[in-house]
Amino acid sequence: MGWTLAIGERSYSSWSLRGWLLFDAFSLPVTTVSAPMYTPDFARVLQDFAPARTAPAARLGDVVVWDSLAIAEELAARHPEVGHWPADPAARAAARSMVAEMHSGFTALRRHCAMNLRTAYREVPVPDGVRADLDRIEMLWARSQGGWLCGTYSAADAFFAPVALRIAGHGLPVGPVAQAYVARHLAHPSLRRWRALGLAVDPVLPAYDRDWPQAAWPGPAPLSARAVEGAEAENASCPYSGKPVTHVLELDGRRWGFCNATCRDKTVNDPEAWPAFMAMIR
């Protein structure tokens, strides 16, 4: 029996991302179930997570925990060895305080710059309320000094990941220390997998589109892979499921196979984000 996590669209749901990072970034196995948020399908998904009403919501047997802050505390209590909270008391107090502030604050930034991992914008205006949020964020992030907020990656970093993506995706003006912290998130393997899978499976939601000039996504440039027709490949089984190959991508003139379109397309979107694939081709 393991954890199951209900999430919304990966490309847009910052709350879902925080909940998922509390598992994946700490190497805790979890099965995800998802549906478009604010739809009858999502309401049906949540029936198995009652009394939760929003994503993320996690279940372990008969135990249900909802809200990303509650999930962080429950996982830390059940899995103290993985390090959701720093061992040092001062660092732990700072991490908990920053998580609580992130959970309830920075509303001007959230309203102005929705998380949208399908595109990036530039020349985004910065109202006074957003500038005030950015100033506070920079003050909190000053402790990172090119690393994570409390030394090793902690729940505080998981909670600020969507903020880093908002700053990156909207080209918001922050100083060098904050820029380095944002870049660290963009390169994080869990975030790269989250985005790659979202691009493969999520619908495009026009409600998240903005009229600002668009730009290329600012994260690490993915290897140049493409989906191709046919089932001929160097491998006979999918590197993720072990099932027979039905869908194929091409990378550097070589063909690699997968058991379905999702496995192929998430890999096309960022091959280096998937250790099993990279281990196979090397």
Note the pTM of the prediction, 2 decimals: 0.94
Q: Is the pLDDT of residue 281 over 80?
A: yes
pLDDT in tens, 224-279: 999 999 999 999 999 999 999 999 999 999 999 999 999 999 999 999 999 999 99
Interval 164-172 mean pLDDT: 98
pLDDT at 39: 84
Structure-block tokens of residue 60: 């372990």
In this structure, the strands spanning 30-34 and 3-7 are: parallel
Query: Which stretches does DSSP call E strand in 73-172?
Result: 120-121
Residue 1, pLDDT above cutoff 80: no
Report the run of H or E that residue 100 belongs to, with start and end. Answer: helix 89-104
pLDDT tens figures, 8-45: 999 999 999 999 999 999 999 999 999 888 888 889 99
Q: pLDDT by residue (tens digit) across 128-159?
A: 999 999 999 999 999 887 799 999 999 999 99
3-state secondary structure of 231: coil
**CA-only gyration radius of the chain, Å:** 19
